[in-house]
Structure 1
Amino acid sequence: MMRERRPRGFEVSLKHLRAANSVAVYGSFTAAAADLGMTQSAVSRLVLQLERQLGVSLFLRSTRNVILTAPGREFTASIQRLLADLGAQVDNARALGEQIKGRLIVSCLLSLTHHVVPEAVLKYRKAHPGVEIHLREGLGSQVYEDVRSGFADFGVGNVTALGHEVVSDDVVQESCFAILPSRHPLRDKSTLSLRELRNEAFVSLPTGSGLRQQIDSVATANGIVLKHSTIVEQFGTLYDFVGANVGISIVPASALPPRAPRGVVVKRLVSPPLVRKIGILRLKNRPLTPAATGFLDIFRPLFLSASRR
């Protein structure tokens, strides 16, 4: 029996495994070659390479027949299970690929559409080009209503005060940060308190925004009145205005780009810290479509990473 020293590592391909399996099934290199559409010498070479990798002989060869050795019986039985499992997974993947077509409607807070959702959409489109994605950007109340009414496949929004028909998954508590013009007098401070910002002109979201309401609520609870001097509808505009020295702002972690935009510095807010709870919203009694499940598989890790930044 072959007892060669095993090489470092183990390098075999599906061709090696299929060759050994076919020889085991047919008991002949000639029949295996016909089954695989290869020459007999090619099948013999693949089996020999596999045996050298394993360091054992899988077959006893003679001029009349081929017999499995004890290690050969064990190993080829494992090969058959592996190839069967692989075939099933290939069939499942093809079936899933055929299912993931049509239209996907996602309702999402404005903060997430700034950079997290675009990254997820880009990856999803490469994997499932047959799906049309409809993204609805809105405030927390709009996201909730889109999900509650069944219009959206799922939403990403605030998880407070949800009705019984809507449930939340992957709930996170994300910190909020102050963003300042890069030449602002407070730019060199490592952290900022809300009280230090009370006399600043703010670039803010509308009063209907859950984030705006939370900021005002925390400020009021601490005897602080903030100056909401400029109101914008989008986070991209908000960053542009801060960078243009129109004012300062407060944004959640999920709205922070990987790198601060030009002309803007980011500072952690402390005393009191501002934390909001958001999650993935869906109808309790309606299963997600394959298109929605596929998108969430891509979106979820990006969302969790961004919210914990």
Structure 2
Amino acid sequence: MNVTLRQLRVFRAVALERNFSRAGDGIGLTQPAVSRSILELESQLGVKLLDRTTREVALTEAGQALALRLDRLLDELDQMLLDVGGLARARRGKVRVASSPTLSANLMPQCIAACGEREPGIQLVLLDRIQQDVLGSVRAGEVDFGVVIEPQDADDLHQEPILQDPFVLVAPENHPLAKAASVRWPALSGRPLVLLDHASGSRRLIDAALERHGARCEVAQELGHATTVFRMIEAGIGISVMPALALPPGGIPGLAVRPLRPTVERDIVLVHRRNRAPSPLAQRVWSLIHDVAAGMRRQQGVSPG
């Protein structure tokens, strides 16, 4: 049976008006279109709904049975559609976002602050996790979406780059490499490095850049948090290659930051489950994070994604 919503609405109009022309006027259809719709409905149901004469339209027993129940059903359907449509206009609720640690520390605070200003009815809940756990949370539907570093083996996720973040050298201010305005990758050869460990989404990119540019280094320490890396550098254990966004906005007393040449960048990406679009409320936060990233590019000169 292939009964359409339009056919049912046309029948209800005829049942109320008991006249094809007046029913058509009420719902914006011509009299022939109304008649055709009723015939199609009767054909689908296999029963006559109306008795037509030149002077009036009367409901058959089957037509009366349908009309009695149709008003309530269509009213409930209309209310349901209004309720669902209201979700698209909703401005209050909770949106859960997972992000990897360096982004949680140096991108997401601005996003949460902007959400509080622009969308005061939305509570942005941040889950700060290592990258693989962020991706797992997105896949499991635990969060609305994630903010990560260009993930591998993630064809099941929709990915949208929002920012490119360059890698930089971090060293003590008195270190020989800190004397130059910028440092070439091969100059790192032979020097002990303190790096983020492989749970970081950035580590594989750093390793690849070191190898690609001929920097042969010993990794003295591998650590899970950027703050610990900086403390190790201060203690003289080594120098580091870090993403620029991992650095506090005001810098770190006693440490120098220098661009690495040629420039190597990591892509910061928003991800959600493919074929499962975020809710309208989550879409508002997704767009807001885009805007914050665009503002960072303008203010700090970071390349666009």
Tell me if TM exceeds 0.5. Answer: yes
TM range (shorter): 0.5 to 0.7
CA distance in 2, matches of 1:227, 1:136: 33
Amino acid at match of 1:302: V
Amino acid at match of 1:215: I
SS of the equivalent of 1:262 reads coil
After TM superposition, give the deviation of residue 236 of structure 1 in Å.
3.0
- Matched length: 214
Match of 1:218 among 204, 209, 215: 209
> Structure 1 residues 129, 305: closer, same or farther in 2, change over 3 A?
closer
Given that residues 243 and 262 in structure 1 are in contact (C-alpha distance below 8 angstroms), is that contact kept between their aligned partners in structure 2? no
Q: Deviations over 1:115-147 (max 9, x none)?
A: 221121122234445544432223333322222
> Structure 1 residues 104, 238: closer, same or farther in 2, change over 3 A?
farther
Given that residues 115 and 124 in structure 2 are in contact (C-alpha distance below 8 angstroms), is that contact kept between their aligned partners in structure 1? no
Match of 1:258 among 232, 235, 249: 249
Normalised TM-score (structure 2): 0.60
2:103 corresponds in structure 1 to: 112
Given that residues 149 and 202 in structure 2 are in contact (C-alpha distance below 8 angstroms), is that contact kept between their aligned partners in structure 1? no
- Say yes or no: does 1:156 pair with 2:147: yes
After TM superposition, give the deviation of residue 111 of structure 1 in Å.
2.0
Amino acid at match of 2:94: R
CA distance in 2, matches of 1:291, 1:145: 22
After TM superposition, give the deviation of residue 248 of structure 1 in Å.
1.8
- Say yes or no: does 1:198 pair with 2:205: no
> Structure 1 residues 301, 98: closer, same or farther in 2, change over 3 A?
closer
SS of the equivalent of 2:202 reads helix
CA distance in 1, matches of 2:235, 2:113: 29
Percent identical: 23
Amino acid at match of 1:269: L
Match of 2:276 among 272, 282, 286: 286
1:140 corresponds in structure 2 to: 131
> Structure 1 residues 286, 213: closer, same or farther in 2, change over 3 A?
same
Q: Deviations over 1:42-66 (max 9, x none)?
A: xxxxxxxxxxxxxxxxxxxxxxxxx
After TM superposition, give the deviation of residue 178 of structure 1 in Å.
0.9
After TM superposition, give the deviation of residue 170 of structure 1 in Å.
3.3
Normalised TM-score (structure 1): 0.60
Equivalent residues in 2 for 1:90-101 (5 A)? Answer: 99-101=90-92
SS of the equivalent of 2:287 reads helix
Identify which range, 238-247 or 101-110, moves more after superposition.
238-247
Given that residues 159 and 171 in structure 1 are in contact (C-alpha distance below 8 angstroms), is that contact kept between their aligned partners in structure 2? no
Amino acid at match of 1:116: L
SS of the equivalent of 1:210 reads coil
> Structure 1 residues 140, 190: closer, same or farther in 2, change over 3 A?
same
Structure 1 unaligned blocks of 5 or more: 1-94
After TM superposition, give the deviation of residue 279 of structure 1 in Å.
1.3
Runs in 1 of length 4+ with deviation above 6 angstroms? 95-98
After TM superposition, give the deviation of residue 162 of structure 1 in Å.
4.6
Given that residues 147 and 269 in structure 2 are in contact (C-alpha distance below 8 angstroms), is that contact kept between their aligned partners in structure 1? yes
Equivalent residues in 2 for 1:13-92 (5 A)? Answer: none
Match of 1:231 among 222, 226, 239: 222
Structure 2 unaligned blocks of 5 or more: 1-85
> Structure 1 residues 130, 238: closer, same or farther in 2, change over 3 A?
farther
C-alpha root-mean-square deviation of aligned residues, in Å?
2.8
SS of the equivalent of 2:275 reads coil
Given that residues 185 and 214 in structure 2 are in contact (C-alpha distance below 8 angstroms), is that contact kept between their aligned partners in structure 1? no
After TM superposition, give the deviation of residue 190 of structure 1 in Å.
0.9
CA distance in 2, matches of 1:296, 1:252: 23
Given that residues 163 and 267 in structure 2 are in contact (C-alpha distance below 8 angstroms), is that contact kept between their aligned partners in structure 1? yes
